[in-house]
Amino acid sequence: MKQVFYIIVLVCLVSCGGSKTYTEQETQAYERLKELVQSKKLEIHSNFARPMATSAFTQVANSGVLGVGNTASNIDITSNSNELKIQGDSVSGFFPFFGEQQFGGGYPGSNHQGIEFNDIPEDYTVTDNDAKHSVQIRFKINDEFRNNEHYTVFITLFPNNRSTIQINSTNRTPIEFTGTLQPIAMEDVKPQ
């Protein structure tokens, strides 16, 4: 009787721990995503910023300065200019920043207070996660206007064109952006 109980428990554990089975359409969408990432001709536009909600930033957010419907950990940025482009070996990005500056270092004028980069990144890696049908891109890049600020960027892309971008800075608190992925339109492709 004891052996039967152990066999039933073992069968339950094995059946519960199985991986997700994907449909043919889901698998084709995942393959298209991998091809797009390999082409290095993609852009991402974000809809929401998710800053690290420190106590100081939460106090500022609770004052109502972020606008109706926004919280310290979820800010609608659909009306803000933002994008990340991967074009060949170059990566450019422009994002609004919400959070705290951790270390000194001035901002070079009122036009460059966000996160801005446009360069060839270091340590650029792409990892396909076949079990979760997602693609991760990771790289390091310097700020375009502040030579003392460096970013480590983690991008997760999904076959439904959803994206998550996490940016860790040497001078500011981490922030995450969620949005949508699309191929770069042919007329926007720069010659290499």
| Model pLDDT for residues 66-105, shown as the tens digit of each residue | 777 788 778 899 988 899 999 999 999 999 998 887 765 5
Q: Which pLDDT belongs to residue 187?
A: 56
Q: What percent of the chain has pLDDT over 90?
A: 56
Q: Which pLDDT belongs to residue 29?
A: 94
Q: Which pLDDT belongs to residue 100?
A: 80
Every domain of the chain and the residues it spans = 24-65+79-104+113-181
CB 5 within 8 A of CB 134: no
Q: Which pLDDT belongs to residue 20?
A: 79
What's the rounded mean pLDDT across residues 128-137?
96
Architecture (CATH level 2) of domain 24-65+79-104+113-181: Beta Barrel (2.40)
- Work out the mean pLDDT of the chain and round it to a whole number: 84
Q: What percent of the chain has pLDDT over 70?
A: 80
Q: Which pLDDT belongs to residue 89?
A: 96
Long-range CB contacts (< 8 A, 24+ apart) of 160-164? 160/29, 163/44, 163/46
| Model pLDDT for residues 43-65, shown as the tens digit of each residue | 999 999 998 877 777 776 777 77
What's the rounded mean pLDDT across residues 136-153?
93
Q: Which pLDDT belongs to residue 140?
A: 97
Check whether 124 has a pLDDT greater than 90.
Answer: yes
The secondary structure of 59-94 as a DSSP string is HHHHTTTT-TT-BTTBEE-TTS--EEEEETTEEEEE
